[in-house]
Amino acid sequence: MFNIDEIYSVSDYIKLCKNAIEKNIPQCFVQGEISNLSMPSSGHWYFSLKDKNSQVRCAFFRLNQRKIKFTPENGMSVIIRGATTLYPQRGDFQLIIQQMEPAGIGNLQLAFDQLKNKLRLEGLFDSANKKEIPSFPTKIGVISSSTGAVIKDIIKVLNSRYPLAKILLYDTVVQGENAHLKIIKALRAADRSKNCDVIILARGGGSLEDLWAFNEEELAREIYQCSTPIISSIGHETDTTIADFVSDLRAPTPSAAAMSATPDLNTILYNASKLKKYLYDSIKQSIESKKNTLELLRLRIVNPSQQLLLNAQKLDELEIRLLKQNKTLIDDNKEKLKLSFSQLLTHSQNFIKVQQNELSNYGNSLNLLSPLNTLSRGYTMTQDNRGSIITSVKRIKLNEVISTKFHDGKVTSKVVNKEDN
């Protein structure tokens, strides 16, 4: 038989085990490989930590993740510090993680490598997206701390190298928690003001933790979105940040950044002096060449009076040639006119003779056909009182007055009788 006092409910049993585990197993460090990773929208992470022979379930709550810069992945080897407990709802043995580091590499270094690879794949580092640094800036924005040595070095270099440019300082903290948010605020103010031809983002050297504000993804994307060219100079020459990769130009030191942003005034003056001498020599050479050309042209110019006499002589020659040509032309035309007149007279006389003969022939023909010529041979022509020629007896009426024409006169008579054949 069972003793009733020795029987536990499931909940009491789990609670007993949970208390025993938590009291007797201290927090400890455990190394293993992440598997079955789950990241729900709550922000909590759940996974199994395993080695070749065993595995344990782990819970990493969001509030404990504040110092984690990298993103865990399945297969990643990590070292965790956690408290051992039981999850009452399932009776699962699990570790509540308080701290997690990548095995073999630091937390920040892994986060740096992950973000660098992510942004590189997105194209934020591509040289095609880099903006050109202006050759002669008039206003240079500097985003840095006003109390550090960086701004003093930049001012010193700019004043000695290119004092023509105006320096606009956008003061900001460059280290500490949420420092990247203040840097973003300063960067936006400088870019949106449209007062800067170029912006220098700078701070002195330090550890990876000290420089971490310049490895934040938010700042990297803000740099990429800026319309003003940006020169980064973060830390020492050997230090490299995500901001360096995204910026349009990276300088190893703040002083080098100031040099990259400006031309050397002494070099400009030297080159200007050389150009001035070259221009002077070119102008002098051009003037000498023009003088020689002008002298050659002057020698080719003829004296106006001589030119006038030459032109007068040419005019006289042309006049004589014209008179000769006119005389020859007139003589030729006179002969042609005389010949043409003789030919015209001959043709006219011949034509008149031909016409006279033809007229005589026409007259003779007409005389032969004339009625008067017929009358002279004894014939007469009888007409009625209207003047019409009577060609038949039938047309004559009795008592009609008719006239008869002879070759030498006319007789008027009255018809008293008529006979038909």
pLDDT tens, residue by residue, 111-158: 888 888 999 999 999 999 999 999 999 999 999 998 888 999 999 999
CATH of 134-263, one of 3.40.50.150, 3.40.50.1980, 3.40.50.2300, 3.90.1150.10: 3.40.50.2300
Give CA angle at 296 (290, 299), nearest 5°: 140
**Helix intervals (H) in 370-415:** 371-375
pLDDT of residue 53: 87
Distance between CA 339 and CA 347 in Å, rounded? 12
What's the topology of domain 4-104?
Answer: OB fold (Dihydrolipoamide Acetyltransferase, E2P) (2.40.50)
Give the pair of three-digit tokens for residue 217.
Answer: 């993804």
Residues of the chain with CATH 3.40.50.2300: 134-263
pTM of the model: 0.50
Low-confidence stretches of the chain (pLDDT < 70) are 1-5, 104-107, 302, 369-376, 378, 421
Map residue 96 onto helix, strand or coil: strand
Pairing, β 166-171 against β 139-144:
parallel
What percentage of the chain carries pLDDT values higher than 70?
Answer: 95
pLDDT of residue 106: 63
Residues of the chain with CATH 2.40.50.140: 4-104
Are 145 and 174 within 8 A, CB to CB?
yes
Give the pair of three-digit tokens for residue 246.
Answer: 């995204």
Spatial CB neighbours of 416, under 8 Å, sequence gap ≥ 6: 398, 399
